[in-house]
A and B are shown apart, each in its own frame.
Chain A
Amino acid sequence: DARVTQTPRHKVTEMGQEVTMRCQPILGHNTVFWYRQTMMQGLELLAYFRNRAPLDDSGMPKDRFSAEMPDATLATLKIQPSEPRDSAVYFCASGQGAGNEKLFFGSGTQLSVL
């Protein structure tokens, strides 16, 4: 059963520390997304890749966040330095880019920055 895998599931860290979240998209999918879920904003887009190329990262605070796809099987989201306001659930999703963007989501990384 193909699924998007995210690690870690939970992360507690102190303010100022670096946080790295990893995502393995479904094999064969060519689009990868990072979303953040907060109570105030719902699901907000952070970054969007197609064929490993970044297409949209306008929703990401550039001074502290970075997203990459070193290869087709791995996407990373880094926060450096982390701040308490970054506490949220971060979701990775992948899709086939088939035209209606039906996405498959991972289980998310629950991040708490103290």
Chain B
Amino acid sequence: DQQVKQNSPSLSVQEGRISILNCDYTNSMFDYFLWYKKYPAEGPTFLISISSIKDKNEDGRFTVFLNKSAKHLSLHIVPSQPGDSAVYFCAAWRTGYALNFGKGTSLLVTP
């Protein structure tokens, strides 16, 4: 039972434009939501997180928005750069449990 869903397997964006990656979840008990970035032949690396009591967290070009009523979060990358091309995993965490990941969205930023 997939509790974290990323319904877009891939996304292509032009350099300089905004990239928006979406994630839905089903369990209202999650305490934190995280985004990980993965390059080929490497492990995922932590990018940004947000507590369930917040609705926005910003770190440089990356902003995560959380809409608890819709059980939806999104990652905005502005401006997008070719080095942002990677697979992005949405993850959700609940106290006492392991991180629950989505299937990932492959982002391609074209020059």
Contact = CB atoms under 8 A, between A and B. Distances in A.
B51 interface: yes
Interface stretch (A12-20, A61-69, A79-87, A102-110): A102-110
B21 interface: no
Interface of B is mostly: loop
A100 B89 contact: no
Contact of A101 (B32, B43, B44, B89): B32
A108 B43 contact: yes
Given A100-B32, A100-B49, A100-B93, A107 B103 contact: no
A45 B100 contact: yes
B25 interface: no
Nearest to B95: A99
B98 A33 contact: yes
B31 A35 contact: no
Residue of A43, A91, A105 ringed by the most chain B CB atoms within 10 A:
A43
Nearest to B90: A42
Residue of B6, B31, B41, B95 ringed by the most chain A CB atoms within 10 A:
B41
Contact of B43 (A44, A99, A106): A106
B40 to A, nearest CB: 10
Interface in B14-53: 31-32, 34, 36, 41-46, 49, 51
A55 B99 CA distance: 13
Nearest to B51: A100
Nearest to A95: B99
Contacts of B32: 99-101
A4 B44 CA distance: 12
A42 B103 contact: yes
Interface of B: 6, 31-32, 34, 36, 41-46, 49, 51, 89, 93, 95-104
Given A43-B101, A102-B46, A108-B43, 19 more contacts: A33-B98, A33-B99, A42-B89, A42-B102, A43-B44, A44-B101, A45-B99, A91-B44, A100-B31, A100-B32, A100-B34, A100-B49, A101-B98, A102-B49, A103-B99, A104-B46, A105-B43, A105-B44, A106-B43
